[in-house]
Amino acid sequence: MSTLVLSISAMVLLMVAGYVQYRIPNFTRRRSDANMTRVVLLLVGVAFGYLCTRYALTRIDAYLAFLNGLGLVHVPAGVILFLKRARGESRS
């Protein structure tokens, strides 16, 4: 995969990850639950990012693959949080 495509997708996915990390406290009742959710997402993201680096051909592609893996884990949570916000749902 080209470095340009990896760079663009890394930027987009990191924006999604930032959105998720920013919005999690708005939809959780306790601060400890929000922190636990953040930690779990980050740990799974780091693990998935590491697995993505195993298939990269160059060092820069490995870094970008790591960032893509980290961001990709946040996409389902981002969709859920976006839909919860659109519906006007309260904390759970």
- Quick check: 92 pLDDT over 70? yes
Task: Identify the pLDDT of residue 89.
Answer: 80
- Quick check: 35 pLDDT over 90? yes
What does the block give as tokens for 49?
């990012």
Q: What is the pTM of this model?
A: 0.88
Q: Is residue 27 part of a domain?
A: yes
Q: Is residue 62 part of a domain?
A: yes
Mean of the per-residue pLDDT values for the chain?
A: 93
Q: Which domain holds residue 44?
A: 3-87
Q: Is residue 92 part of a domain?
A: no
How many domains, in total, are found in the chain? 1
Task: Identify the pLDDT of residue 55.
Answer: 87
DSSP-H helix ranges across the chain: 3-23, 31-53, 59-72, 75-87
Q: Is residue 29 part of a domain?
A: yes
